[in-house]
Amino acid sequence: MTFTAHVEILPHPELLDPQGKAVLLGLSNLNITAIKDVRVGKHIVLTIEADSMQEADALAKEACEKLLVNPIMERYSYEVTEN
């Protein structure tokens, strides 16, 4: 069966996010001042071949923890759905 995992990766809230600050400054320069903070992260889509939802979930988690996420600087969440 084929599954899709959507992975969201963001910097830890207590860390400075230079990209987010640059976007916030750009918004301010465009007179969009109601936005008070921006955090820039990554959205990764994984297509997974697995026998079950549990196996696909475990593979997505393993990919995050072993390669996709730097746990010192980033946090993540993911959702696996069946295609």
Q: Convert the pLDDT of each residue in 41-55 to its tens digit.
A: 999 999 999 999 999
Distance of CA 71 to the CA centre of its chain: 12
Q: Assign 17 to helix, strand or coil.
A: coil
pLDDT at 50: 98
Which pLDDT band holds residue 38 (cuts at 50, 70, 90)?
A: very high
Give the mean pLDDT of 8-16: 97
Give the mean pLDDT of 9-30: 97
The reported pTM is 0.88
Q: Which residue has the tokens 């640059």?
A: 22
